[in-house]
Structure 1
């Protein structure tokens, strides 16, 4: 069966009268702990994160799903199979760090997710993309157009799950107080997010568009498209400054230990 797919147009013009994907506004945000990874080149230890946003209408939006389950079963064997060892190694990843267990900490199951968003399709973000059979997937059209998810450095064992895909081509607002930004650079269809919470206020989730603050000074070396990464990184930080937003980076060694993680919430 072919996967259903629909494109979500630009915010301008025809989208003015479109119904948003979400009925409610963001009410709570949880940071999901998908384990720790060490990058060989510099020894940097990074947290692997996902996010669960719950609206005041009771909708649950999941952003990214971490590593595949095989990394909790046997990280060494999985690393060898995916040829990930040239890049780094899993330091800490148990079954408690898998997407279903992280959701369970919040009292949720895979059937409670109303919308899944793929920030991009690298290995540490797509591990459970196929685990939510009735949930539509919002993804950048540029990412979905690839023959298979990016996964890791030419190793692309995953196929696209048979789902309804909502493809976006530009920045969109999927509901009041919930913006999705198309920010290619790290990946062809990289996404970032701004949510407005009642108490915390605006929160910018950069995902891998800005993995850590130092990446800005490093000019995003090693990105899929360094020039676009620089441009979009600056755009995101300008928006964060304008809205006085709390910024949560994609893989910041300094920030990761300070973040409130599930089962705790930001409200």
Structure 2
């Protein structure tokens, strides 16, 4: 695939899509997305959190989706929706030049249809599914009309912005390695590694545990080789320490 961006990553914002308690543990996890602005003024949005119905009535939405078998929403408000989080950064939906869908679980695709002017970068293995994964076999969402750019392997999205195809957690899981001017290399694992302890747990419960182990090891080796700061997908320990929008990492 050819590069889709012309500029280098200039700043990174972590978007706060709310808090969720996973039954296992239990453990409290943050639901996150990212906004990246390049030095050419391009805006990239990575993932969009839970569907809007969870901000309207989390209990009713949980019942509808049978999500209680996995956990419960602790806090998802209208302020945790993707457009509101972007607004904190002075970014409107029309400003988004590209969306990246790291995979299609329920906590990542809530506003996938909310940025119709932006192409969606997604793994071909995810887009080949009849519907997005959503949750536990309940493929309740249809694919929105969009310009899908399908990923079949690692490639450079633009200068200093690498897309990594790391299936395991999901059939088409993506991770991203970016180079910021002050912070340096940052590895966004998404759910390829949700938390550091998942490595020792051998990625139990993944779509394909063997693939998850292999690609988890590959990501950590890459982070060590590049000296990258690792931001995990859902780390209970890391989440409270991360700066969120409207702050930027430069």
**TM tier, shorter chain?**
over 0.9
The Cα shift of 1:41 comes to: 2.1
Q: Does 1:99 align with 2:85?
A: no
- Which residue is 1:237 aligned to? 220
The Cα shift of 1:42 comes to: 1.4
Q: Does 1:114 align with 2:97?
A: yes
Give the ranges of 4+ consecutive aligned residues of structure 1 lying more than 6 Å apart after TM superposition: none
SS of structure 1 residue aligned to 2:126 = helix
1:249 corresponds, among 224, 232, 237, to 232
- Which residue is 1:84 aligned to? 67
Q: Does 1:24 align with 2:7?
A: yes
Q: Deviations over 1:144-196 (max 9, x none)?
A: 00000000001111000111000010001010000000000000000000000
SS of structure 2 residue aligned to 1:120 = coil
Gaps in structure 2 of 5+ consecutive residues: none
TM-score normalized by structure 2? 0.99
Q: For 2:233 and 2:22, how far apart are their aligned partners in 1?
A: 14
- Which residue is 1:13 aligned to? none
- Which residue is 1:138 aligned to? 121
SS of structure 2 residue aligned to 1:212 = coil
Q: Does 1:262 align with 2:242?
A: no
Q: How does 1:143-182 map to 2 (within 5 A)?
A: 143-182=126-165
Q: Deviations over 1:95-125 (max 9, x none)?
A: 0000000000000111110000000000000
SS of structure 1 residue aligned to 2:240 = helix
Q: Does 1:186 align with 2:166?
A: no
- Which residue is 1:220 aligned to? 203
TM-score normalized by structure 1? 0.93
Q: For 2:117 and 2:43, how far apart are their aligned partners in 1?
A: 13
The Cα shift of 1:23 comes to: 0.8
SS of structure 2 residue aligned to 1:260 = coil
Q: For 1:37 and 1:261, how far apart are their aligned partners in 2?
A: 17
The Cα shift of 1:215 comes to: 0.2
Gaps in structure 1 of 5+ consecutive residues: 1-7, 9-17
Q: Deviations over 1:56-100 (max 9, x none)?
A: 000000000000010000000000001101000000111000000
- Which residue is 2:190 aligned to? 207
Q: For 2:70 and 2:27, how far apart are their aligned partners in 1?
A: 11
Q: Does 1:45 align with 2:28?
A: yes
Q: For 2:182 and 2:231, how far apart are their aligned partners in 1?
A: 16
Q: For 2:71 and 2:77, how far apart are their aligned partners in 1?
A: 17
SS of structure 2 residue aligned to 1:36 = strand
- Which residue is 1:33 aligned to? 16
